[in-house]
Structure 1
């Protein structure tokens, strides 16, 4: 392989020296090959030889310096490299020194490369370990955990969050608008947090489920790593199902208010009932004594109203008076069928079809009180169907629900095909004497609610979707 010249002057000088040397060789060759003519040409040849030698001598002296200049620079650079001397005190030439230096530098670079690779591997292992640890923490959080980036794309959704929001599979960077389209209240809070950095603590929202139930969620939303300008880089959302807690809280509050109402009004109701008995007696006496047709009609109307008031007071006393429950094993399937048979004329009068589906288990309950509660709920369902409704039906569904490893519930759902429950009535339908019907005293649902709660269960009311009829859900311990 020919040497590579980086400097053109070195190349030109080398060519000149080479040509001069060739000229000297040529002159000597002529002298050697033509001895007979040596005398005649001697002055000329001698002159050429002298001139060539004079011109070539500086070039010969300078040429090694020019040619060895890069090599000297390499030696100087090698001397400045802090490498270990492995010569053992022996004298080395420059070529050996440069070679050893080069080998030492290469060895150091290889060692550093191996060290960098080891550090990189350790960093990757630590990163993987930290990521796995974070994933385990997220998976072990009992509440729902959602995280969104600044663009509103979901980056984290643990299993409880997917269950609460009924998300199938991983979110795969779906937007909040896609994931939360059915929960506008939660979507609005997420958008506000991303755009303004707003913080939400212990908010309560309602979310409809696929099986037409309303779930109440406790929500806490916080911005992630706001920048210097106050813009959020993401949002973290914590979700907790507080449906049962809210129901129990409402039931406890209602039970306390009803207990207070019962204690205060029980004595008054007894006195009122005594007065009604007196009015009833006088009304009957007037019917016997009065022969006047107008007076007789008035006495008849008075007697009818007295009987209605007596029934209402009796119902109220039955509601307010503490009941002693007689627990026994009760087959809910048989009890529902017996209630349907008892109410068959009532359903026929209201042109309503009675349907049952699902499985009903056995519970420990007071059969008489539980029967009364179911009768009240079924009557209410039939009465809630307007005359204009085409589909006139009352459906009773039974199922077993497990909320934890130890808690099992038998759920009875009673759904009608009426117009449903208005928002205004939803919070008051279990209050005694509150009714939206032209007939009735507003005690049936309150009594049913009290019976279910005294059995350790819950009774809630909502609207069935998509039909819109009322849906009463009774849960009893299995």
Structure 2
């Protein structure tokens, strides 16, 4: 309540003052200021000039008195000195003449004989008798009760520095003030005439200008009310006419712009209606969330996918409050908000009765004019049926692969079983034969161990993954794998080179499983270079080349690991089969090492590829995602039923 007067003053409209009055007042103010400056300047110069003349006159009178009074001062002839003073003071502009002897006493004072022989103690007299050079002092009320100038001149003996007295002449300033007042009145009179004349001229000039401006003002009012057909007829031949012409052009452009804006508004309304219809009819879910986690837009398909009622409004509510903190979609949105960057397409599980749904989520960020993130746009695509179809296809592939797997197993197991069968059949007849039992004990356990090793490899290949993911240093794992196989590399005369990128970010991985894959690839390279060669291991970060991902802020970075050898190489027709179980180009081995390596890499969400040319070596390239949320595919195309 106490601040109401202040608020009223703040919101009060400025007082309207017509332009003609402003022009007249401004002109009058300029004239008054000019006359005031002129008056002060003239008075100052006149005051300075008259005072200088008085000072020169006083000094001349004092010099004359010094010349005539020196002898009388030497003889202490006070009567003569007083006569000189009275005679000099007869001038009406001289207030007084005072002669001081060398003891500073009054030797003669014009028209004041009673002061003869006394010492004057006023400040002007004391300064006058003490000076050794001509001194001019101003006083407002002196001995004559008038303002004036006191001119003091010391008297020295001829050809001597001995001071013998002081001559003082008091000059009246009354005439000077009278001349200054006359000047002021003259200038004031001329100023009043000039002010009156200037005001009349400014009034006439202001009327000429403001009449045309007034017409423009009324035109602007009509335009502000929506009447763009108002015609301005100003013919002044100056800037006002140019202003009126520009106003007419501007009015015409505003009218055209208004018509275009109306058409654009209709187009925007049509696009808005089209967008609303599209969002309603599209099968994919569309959801937009601001950077605080508040739902801005959601279409019916998204409501259905997320199990939200179509009646209850969710716009304006926090997505965590709607879906719950445990929902994978909420975690994904919170991650995007924290990173201020979109993420790659991600599969999430939405729990619904009677079964959960798998949804593929794509994201992008809507930025403002200054590049600041405004909203997160999420595209939700139901891939539940696609996942079921993939599972059926994998089931068919597993069933189809069982034949190949069974054939490979039969081939690998037949040889050791044949040897064991032969020894078992010969055992009753040759048990007593010298050396037979020794050969039996050497061959049967070896072949049995061979079958056991094959079974372990098959179990490793077909076992469901039970991985423990943690932040893993890939460079450290590679150095550990090199340390494990270093002796074997040196024994085979293989030089190895490590080109590992510094400060490589950690990868979410199971280090125990991943190092198996690295060891398999290194041993595969050793077997490919029986006579020696060179093995190069490199790591680096690879960014996505997808311009769409870069535009949305999702770079989809990966760690790339390369194993390159200079061995025998693999023929192109065999290269396509190297990851199949029991396929091998070597005389020894089961052909399961690369199959297990492929399984480990894919279960880390990665990709492994091979490039090779006969007699030119082989290069294996592994790509592992840098994202901290790895979707582990626990299903292998070689799973056993």
Q: Which interval holds the TM-score relative to the shorter structure?
A: 0.3 to 0.5
Larger radius of gyration: 2
TM-score by length of 2: 0.30
TM-score by length of 1: 0.40
